[in-house]
Amino acid sequence: MPWPFDTTPDAAASDLTSGSRTSDSHISEMERRMRAFPWETTPVGPVHTWPHSLKSAVRTVLDLRLPAYLAWGDAYVQFFNDAYVPILGDKKDAALGNDVRVTWAEIWPTIGPMWQQVRQGQALGSEGLPLTINRYGYYETCYFSYSYSPIYGDTGKVEGVLVAFAEITKAVLGERRHAYQIKLADTLRRETEFNPMLKATIRLTSEYFTNSNVAYVELDEAKRIFTVKEEWKDGVETGAAQGTLPVDMLSPSQLELLRAGTTICIDDVSTDPECAAVAGPCLMLGIHSVIVIPLKDGTRLHGAGFLYKDHPYRWTDDERTLAEDLARRTWEALRRIRAEEALREETRMLELLNRAGSVLASTLDIDTLLQAVTDAATELTGAEFGSFFYNGKDANGDAYLLYTLSGAPREAFEKLGHPRPTAVFKPTFDGGPPIRSDDITKDPRYGSMGPHHGMPKGHLPVRSYLAASVSSRSGEVLGGLFFGHSQPKMFDERTEQLISGFVAQAAVAIDNARLYDMAQRAAREREGLLASERAARAEAERHSKMKDEFLAMLAHELRNPLAPITNAAQLLNMPSVDEKLRLKAGSIISRQVRHMTELVDDLLDVSRVTRGLVKLEHETLELSAVLRAAVEQARPHIEAREHTLVVEAPEQQVVVVGDRTRLVQVLVNLLNNAAKYTPPRGRIVLRLEAGLESARVTVIDNGAGMDAKLLPHVFDLFTQAERTPDRSQGGLGIGLALVKTIVQMHGGQVEAHSDGPNLGASVSVLLPLAGADAASPQTPHQSRAGRRGVAPCLLTIVDDNTDAAQSLAVLLRAQGHTVSVFEDGVRTLASNDIADTQAFILDIGLPDMTGYELARRLRREHPHATFIALTGYGQARDRDLSKQAGFDHHLVKPVEFRALADILAGLDCTPAQEPAIAGMK
């Protein structure tokens, strides 16, 4: 009987006698080792004590020609044949008689649950089982076709597991490599753009090299960094893209190997002598074993392919060769695509430059040209948004205006104001070289100037920044082109070169367009003068016609009451008049006299208001109370025509500072107008609304409405809708003019709207809300005037309206002031009489220069003088322009003389020598 059935020393000779062996040399190595093995030291005990089932199983293992091993008992004692020894690798000496769970601890979590099923009597088997084993001191993934069979003991219970298998790693890897190479070839053939191909090939490689990170990095020699362009693991992006690695993570000798085109392969960074200096940083990055494949562009090292694992790993020659082959095939395809993309980009740039040149040469209209320059330059640079700040001047004399935009709405810049002379902007406006920044928010020149210290709130999200100055042939800076992108590093040196060449062409085109524009402007100015003359003539004719109509209507309105008064007087002269007729005649006379008095009062009222003779009694007012008072006064007129009146007001108080009587007069006038021009039984709405800075009171009716031609003149004096012979509505056309003037005296505005005849109308009054200091019934001017006397001042008035200037001078002289009067800016500047002027009162619309320009020039010679703008323009924009020009006060014509007097009362006009002279007297 063969071993282990016969354990005597002459068992081998017995085998030869029986013919089962031809020579002792035919006994396998593992059988010799098993015969000599001290089984008594293991859980199975001495061989002669083994059950027959164990002996049969061991004999079967030894006789198998496939790799096989047996695990017996609960201790999983291990027996195996010669064919199994290569599978064990360095574990072969310690495996015999040992516990399988110790020998294969690294794969026991995988095979253990399977063996539990086998111990229950179930045979298992399959092909291509992947197991990551450590048989040579490092981990490797191998593939096996296997069979797990239960081995029954003498009692019929499963006592062991018989494993027979074949390692098919090379076959599986060959098939996977072949399939991968087919996919890679298909990808290289299909993709035509650099980034999609790079992403696709890195993903495929990461799927093939499982449990490995695959990265493509580019070398920046100047910054000595590797930039990670793509990194994947097991077909999934790791998120490391756009990160950087220091070049010093490679030793100098390793870097030289890469420059020479040699692949670096390291199984364990922690033990490799070449990595001693950089092992720490590499291990922190998770790089324990790595293959680095150089990617060269000619003689220059462009970048590298990284294949690394987060644990020590022995890279096989096949893996290394395959990685090199794949990297270089991919790199060649990427280089080809990059070259094609560069060629396409160059072609696109040439086409853009050609198209831009055609546009520059095809137009002389400055607006069209500047927009074309901005659009073409934005496209050339690849910016998300571009802008051109043109060195033209607005009405205020400000230069470097945002003239054109590309890629962004103008609303994105409306609230940002003019560019400031910051370290980033100023060089461009000074005609310096282009400025380029990969990330302007990290640029040391950025954010150094207040108040924003960077981009103001609401600015476009600029990271990449490029700016180029546009200068004419004479050296004049015409403006600046500015480009932005929300992503960093979008503009390179090539972009800067392109834009430098383009701005030179643009400057020539702009120069030509400006010359043409100057000629066109001169022609337009001539046409404008003629048009202004024609318009002035038409306006004079219109006012003359309005005057004639008004005088006719005034005569009509004054004669109307005279007829009933005359009749009533004749009635009283009749001898037979009784008391009833006498009372009726008296009532007629009283009513008609009251009507005539109201007409005369209206005329006098509008005269006083328009000439600034009305003095407002300021107090803090709650507008709801003003509305109630106005409704009470207008109610008889409204009820007489059976109108429905609706009053809408918020619950919270709306407080303004003003003259209660005059504001009530304004609302009564509007309510009476609405009642007058609305057919009986109409609807009138009186609405009060409060905004952030102003209150709005609106009177809305559903009456006769207004023609579109009338709306622009509805607040002019003596303006009415078409007058009819019957004069059924009555009135002199002065009501809305009076409303406008009173509201403007309160610092407010009036607005009128109508959709057309018979579609109703609305008139709104806007009044500034009272500030925190408005609780006192006295205004600041009144308080100041009450606190100090009026010192005589040396004043200069400049106004081309001689009557207005002279009449104002008379009033001021009556106050004790010394006044000089001029009609234009040139004579003012040339006069020696203004040397000691303490306050200048300037009109804005002068014939030879604007009041803004005159104020700037006078301010240089009279830095301590007070400047007062006296103008018909009273909008917020006009007040801003006055302030920017250096005016201390802004008064709107017709000015209330008390307001001007209060300003002058606040000045220190006493000459420096006066106290000494007074003392001598």
On whether the CB atoms of residues 12 and 27 are closer than 8 A, the answer is yes
For 658, the token pair is 């003003």
Per-residue pLDDT, averaged over 197-225, amounts to 88
Per residue, the 3-state secondary structure of 729-784, as one string, reads: CCCCCCHHHHHHHHHHHCCCEEEEECCCCCCCEEEEEEEEECCCCCCCCCCHHHHH
* pLDDT single digits (tens) 493-517: 888 888 888 888 888 888 887 788 7
* pLDDT single digits (tens) 433-443: 888 888 887 77
Residue 481 has pLDDT above 70, yes or no: yes
On whether the CB atoms of residues 510 and 369 are closer than 8 A, the answer is yes
SS3 74: coil
- The torsion region of residue 27 among left (phi > 0), alpha (psi -120 to 50) and beta comes to beta
On whether the CB atoms of residues 827 and 848 are closer than 8 A, the answer is no
Measuring CA to CA, which residue among 457, 451, 453, 428 is closest to residue 441? 453
Residue 62 has pLDDT above 90, yes or no: yes
Query: Bigger pLDDT: 98 or 378?
Result: 98
Per-residue pLDDT, averaged over 702-731, amounts to 65
Single-letter residue type at 915: P
**Residue 457 pLDDT grade (very low, low, confident, very high; cuts 50, 70, 90):** low
**Residue 773 pLDDT grade (very low, low, confident, very high; cuts 50, 70, 90):** low
Residues 6+ positions from 454 with CB-CB distance below 8 Å: 441, 446, 447
* Percent of the chain residues past pLDDT 90, beyond the cut: 31
Measuring CA to CA, which residue among 897, 871, 898 is closest to residue 882? 871
On whether the CB atoms of residues 506 and 377 are closer than 8 A, the answer is yes
Q: Cα–chain-centroid distance for residue 74?
A: 71
Residues 6+ positions from 46 with CB-CB distance below 8 Å: 39, 40
Which spans in 40-130 are helix H? 52-63, 85-88, 92-95, 100-103, 108-119
Residues 6+ positions from 485 with CB-CB distance below 8 Å: 382, 383, 384, 385, 462, 463, 464, 491
Omega of the bond prior to 109 within 30 degrees of 0, cis?
no
Per-residue pLDDT, averaged over 598-618, amounts to 66
Per-residue pLDDT, averaged over 401-418, amounts to 62
d(CA 646, CA 667): 14
The DSSP bridge partners found for residue 402 are 389
Residue matched to tokens 């803004």:
852
On whether the CB atoms of residues 191 and 184 are closer than 8 A, the answer is no
Which range, of 315-324, 328-337, 486-495, 907-916, averages the lowest pLDDT?
A: 907-916
Mean per-residue pLDDT over the chain, rounded: 82
Omega of the bond prior to 451 within 30 degrees of 0, cis?
yes
**Residue 189 pLDDT grade (very low, low, confident, very high; cuts 50, 70, 90):** confident
* pLDDT single digits (tens) 691-700: 888 999 999 9
Residue 186 is predicted with a pLDDT of 85
- The torsion region of residue 522 among left (phi > 0), alpha (psi -120 to 50) and beta comes to alpha
Per-residue pLDDT, averaged over 751-763, amounts to 90
**Residue 65 pLDDT grade (very low, low, confident, very high; cuts 50, 70, 90):** very high
pTM: 0.41
Residue 118 is predicted with a pLDDT of 96
Q: What angle do CA 141, 143, 148 make, to 5 degrees?
A: 125
Query: Bigger pLDDT: 863 or 430?
Result: 863
Residues 6+ positions from 95 with CB-CB distance below 8 Å: 78, 80, 88, 103
* Percent of the chain residues past pLDDT 70, beyond the cut: 83
Residue 787 has pLDDT above 90, yes or no: no
For 222, the token pair is 């100047």
- Catalogue the E-assigned strands of 135-246: 139-152, 158-167, 213-220, 225-233, 236-237, 244-246
For 486, the token pair is 């929300």
Query: How far apart are the two ends of the chain, measured CA to CA in Å?
Result: 157
On whether the CB atoms of residues 305 and 216 are closer than 8 A, the answer is yes
Strand 158-167 and strand 68-72: the pairing is antiparallel
For 661, the token pair is 């009587």
d(CA 128, CA 175): 11
* pLDDT single digits (tens) 16-54: 444 444 445 578 999 999 999 999 999 999 999 999 999
Which spans in 191-316 are helix H? 194-208, 252-259, 279-284
Residue 210 is predicted with a pLDDT of 85
Residue 845 is predicted with a pLDDT of 84
Single-letter residue type at 6: D
Per-residue pLDDT, averaged over 393-415, amounts to 61
* pLDDT single digits (tens) 869-918: 988 777 777 888 888 889 999 988 767 677 888 888 888 887 644 433 33
Measuring CA to CA, which residue among 832, 803, 797, 835 is closest to residue 817? 797
Per-residue pLDDT, averaged over 465-485, amounts to 85
Which range, of 61-70, 76-85, 813-822, 902-911, averages the lowest pLDDT?
A: 902-911
Residue 21 is predicted with a pLDDT of 45
Residue 779 has pLDDT above 60, yes or no: no
Measuring CA to CA, which residue among 791, 600, 765, 795 is closest to residue 694? 765
Which range, of 155-164, 465-474, 548-557, averages the lowest pLDDT?
A: 548-557
Per-residue pLDDT, averaged over 768-776, amounts to 67
